[in-house]
Amino acid sequence: MDPLVIVSAVIVLALFFDFTNGFHDTANAMATPIATGALKPRTAVAIAAVMNLAGAFLSTAVAKAISVDLINKDVPLHVEMVFAGLTGAILWNLTTWIFGLPSSSSHALFGGLIGAAIAYSGFDAVNTAKVFEKVLIPAVFAPIIAGLAAWMATRLAYQITTRNSQESTQTNVGTGRKNFRFGQIFSSSLVALSHGTNDAQKTMGVITLVLVAAGHQATGDHVQTWVILAAAIAIAVGTYAGGWRIIKTLGTGLAEIKPAQGFSAEVSTGVAILASSHLGFALSTTQVASGSVIGAGLGRKGGAVRWNKARQIVLGWFLTLPAAGLVGALSAQLTKTGDIGLIIDALITIAVIMAMFQISRRNRVTSKHVKSEVEGASAVVLSPRQVRTAAKKAAKNNKKGSK
């Protein structure tokens, strides 16, 4: 097969992954302002799209980490290997999208590429030290740090705005916490900007890796302007497409979010991601956002965690990299057989993509469904009201049992 055709196919596939990354991760920035009523759903995703577009132009440190650090320098690069890796990432991304699971698009990409590289050149192909430094260690600590920051920010916000009921009645002045809703417009925009800075670069890194493998670029230590522009547009369009299923999961599932909590969670998420992008850490923005929302939920006095639900989400995070790696390795085995294997792999990928979109049409989740559902009860963090209700119910049941 003509090498130019394969390169073009991989670039198109990479941009499609960027598109899926956009709608998969829209919720990271916009679930909480939608939940608190700070922004209407369509307005929220429009702002997120613009900020993602702008963020893609701010840095290329993460892109270089992928194009230079992920695969050992002495390992021969194959365009087919990158194609197989992207296959694994896209299929896992769409699978988690169907189920509304906030998994990591980033780890899906890394898993797919690592699995394909191992299938082509063995375990020595992967730069293990850099994978730990740039991917695995940030994956563990970034959500924890962001969660702690959100917890402290929420506690501080509530402490600053605290007024007892007697004082509020006498002065006819409320707590002022609702004003955080306006701040969320800016804090959620910060998250969207940071998402573009980190996640759009991953597609830039993949395309650069392909160009190096095909001999169209000497080294992967720089990103061409057209690559930056294409990746920025793809993630912005994907962001505007919505991703309502995952917005619903984050908006209703992680916490009963109030404006002060939403503001705290968004600032913590945005700052953590921007700092990591500057250092070249390829974070999962989904994990950081989820950690911040849980931290903000617990920061409100009286909050509690539904650990069973939390464990399900964390399990999804841990499954992403190996699952995408397995699919990437299987795709690589197909592409290693030659042009026929490459065509079969492409056809399987297209068929699965079409099937998943058809399945999604049977149970659509759109912007019309988000507003009412994000106001429902939480699935991971119990609000103080829910804790009190559960305690009263338990006491009532104990009283009946004693009789």
Question: What digits encode the pLDDT tens for the residues 300-347?
Answer: 877 666 777 777 777 777 888 888 889 889 999 988 988 888 888 888
Q: Averaged over 202-207, what is the pLDDT?
A: 88
Q: Which two tokens stand for residue 374?
A: 């994000």
**Cα(337)–Cα(362) distance, rounded to whole angstroms?**
37
Residue 85 has pLDDT above 80, yes or no: yes
Q: What is the pLDDT of residues 47-72, one digit of tens each?
A: 888 998 998 888 888 888 787 888 88
Give the confidence band of 392 by pLDDT, cuts at 50, 70, 90. Answer: confident
Q: What element of type H or E holds 331?
A: helix 307-335
Q: Tell me what pLDDT residue 373 has.
A: 28
Q: Provide the angle, in degrees to the nearest 10, between the axes of the packed helices 285-299 and 3-36.
A: 10
Q: Tell me what pLDDT residue 370 has.
A: 37
Q: Which two tokens stand for residue 121?
A: 């050149």
Cβ contacts of 215 within 8 Å, gap of 6 or more? none
E-strand stretches of 235-390: 304-305, 381-382
The overall average pLDDT reported for the chain is 78
Q: Tell me what pLDDT residue 165 has.
A: 43
Q: What is the pLDDT of residues 223-270, one digit of tens each?
A: 899 999 999 999 998 888 765 555 555 545 544 667 788 788 889 988
Neighbours of 154 (CB within 10 A): 27
* Residue-wise DSSP of 60-86: -HHHHIIIIISB-TTSPP-HHHHHHHH
Which of these ranges, 80-84, 89-93, 168-172, has the smallest mean pLDDT? 168-172
Provide the percentage of residues in the chain whose pLDDT is more than 70. Answer: 77
CA distances from 260 to 35, 38, 151, 275, 368 (A): 12, 11, 11, 23, 25
Q: Averaged over 134-138, what is the pLDDT?
A: 86
Strand partners, 381: 305
Residue 212 has pLDDT above 70, yes or no: yes
Q: Tell me what pLDDT residue 378 has.
A: 36
**Cα(370)–Cα(376) distance, rounded to whole angstroms?**
10
Q: How many domains does the chain have?
A: 1
pTM of the model: 0.75
The identity of residue 25, as a single letter, is D
Q: Tell me what pLDDT residue 28 has.
A: 63
State the residue range of the domain holding 195: 3-402
Residue 205 has pLDDT above 60, yes or no: yes
* Residues 252 and 225: beta-carbon distance below 8 Å: no
